[in-house]
Copies of this chain bind each other. A is one copy, B any other.
Amino acid sequence: MDVVNLKAAIEAILFALGEAISLQEIAQALDTSTEETKKLMDELVDGYNSGEKGIQIIQINTKYQFCTRPKYHEYINSLMNERSTSGLSQAALETLSIIAYKQPVTRVEVENLRGVKSSSSLQTLIDRNLIKEAGRLDAPGKPFLYETTFEFLKYAGITNLDDLPEYEVFVASVHSQEHEEVAIQID
C-alpha cells in the first residue's frame, strides 16, 4: 500500500474505532513500523489542522482520536437536543435492548452484536441510570459487566425482567426453516 492509502487507512481506523488508539495498535493493523505510522499520523493531523475543518485528530498521551472542534459545539448541541426529546437515540436503544436481554454482558459483547463501537451509548445509559456496572468478568482484562437497573424496570413498566417480551419466539422464527419442510416419501 502506498503512503496515500496508508494515510487513508489510518483515517478509516480512527473513525470506525471512535475511541483513542495507540500508534502501536495502528502500526500492527497496517503491518508497518510505529515510526512510519507516526510520520503518517503527523501528516494526517496537520491536514486536519490546515484550513477550517469541523473535525480534528487529537493526541491524548500516546493515543489518537477523532473529535469535533469545540467552536461548533452549539450547533451540535441544538441538534442533539432536538433529537433527544424523543427519548433515547436508536443507538442507545439498541444497546439497552442487548443489555436487557443478555445481561450481565460486557462492552465487547454489545459491540460484537451491534458491529459499532458503543462506549458512548453505554455512557448515555449509565448517566440516565438505566444500566449499571455489575462486577467484572473473570476473563483476560477483567472487563466490566453491565446490567439493567431498578430504574429501568420502573420506566419500562415491568415488575421484573421475566416480564420482558420473550425473544426466544422471535429467534425461533428467524431460524426456522425457510421452507415448511415436510418429509414425503416418493416411490
Contacts and interface: CB of A to CB of B under 8 A. Distances in A.
Nearest to A173: B123
A102 interface: no
A89 interface: yes
B17 A176 contact: no
Nearest to A181: B117
A134 interface: no
A39 interface: no
Assembly of this chain: how many copies?
2
B82 A8 contact: no
Contacts of A112: 81-84
A30 B25 CA distance: 38
A174 B76 contact: no
Contacts of A111: 80-81
Interface residues of A, number: 64
Contacts of A79: 13, 16-17, 21, 25-26, 29
A146 to B, nearest CB: 16
A58 B90 CA distance: 19
A91 interface: yes
Contact of A13 (B15, B76, B124, B174): B76
B80 A123 contact: no
A180 B118 CA distance: 9
Contacts of A115: 83-85
A81 B108 contact: yes
